[in-house]
Amino acid sequence: MSLEPEVPIVQIEEVKENPVLYKIISSDNHVFTISEHAVKLSKTLWDLITNLGLTAENALDNPIPVENVNGKNMERIVQFCERHKYDEEEQAYTNFIREFVVPEWDRQLLSIDNEELFQLILATNYLDIPKLMDYCCRVIGDMAKEKTPEELRIIYGIPTDAEDDALERSASDSPGPSG
């Protein structure tokens, strides 16, 4: 016989049933709905919500404009945050973890062309989502593994020295603004 009082156990599904939702508007006017647990992964968005005084009662009536992030990237960010909203908080590490692996679902989410990936990194940095930033940077680092300098130039769109010289010559040959 146990003397401990019975404590009701709250299932995660119960918490998921009635989440507080927020609306976010991207720079190209796409509207996204995101749960409170998911939005907390973005320090910038959470700070905006708390500073604006949004509550469960008025959250959906007051969309949050995010003018630095387009709809395509905001969609990926919302998907990522919703997917990871119940992940256990990782301890901040002091040494870089060389062998961390990007999970397959996240790798698929980040399987986009280089320009889109770089734009997503800018959006992730602006919204301050550390876990997504780590994953994006890991994907970029993996792209560079065991590549020659010439292959890296192609992957990252880096011009050769000859191309740089030609560009400088054409810029100096063209007439500047006349005044």
The encoded tokens of residue 123 equal 């959006």
Mean pLDDT of 136-142: 90
**The Cα angle at residue 119 between residues 61 and 160, in degrees rounded to 5:** 170
The encoded tokens of residue 105 equal 């679902």
Higher pLDDT pick, 29 / 91? 29
Mean pLDDT of 135-159: 85
**pLDDT value at residue 11:** 42
Domains of the chain listed by start with CATH number: 19-88+100-159 (3.30.710.10)
User: At residue 32, what are phi and psi to the nearest 5 degrees?
Assistant: -125, 145
Res. 113: pLDDT tops 70: yes
Q: What does pTM read for this prediction?
A: 0.75
**pLDDT value at residue 106:** 96
**pLDDT value at residue 145:** 84
What's the pLDDT band for 174 if we cut at 50, 70, 90?
low
For the stretch 75-102, pLDDT in tens is 999 999 999 999 887 655 445 556 678 9
Q: How far apart are CA 140 and CA 143, in angstroms?
A: 5
Q: How far apart are CA 78 and CA 84, in angstroms?
A: 10
Q: Which of 29-38, 131-140, 166-175 has the lowest mean pLDDT?
A: 166-175
For the stretch 52-63, pLDDT in tens is 898 888 888 889
**pLDDT value at residue 97:** 57
Average confidence score pLDDT of the chain:
83
**pLDDT value at residue 116:** 94
**pLDDT value at residue 120:** 97
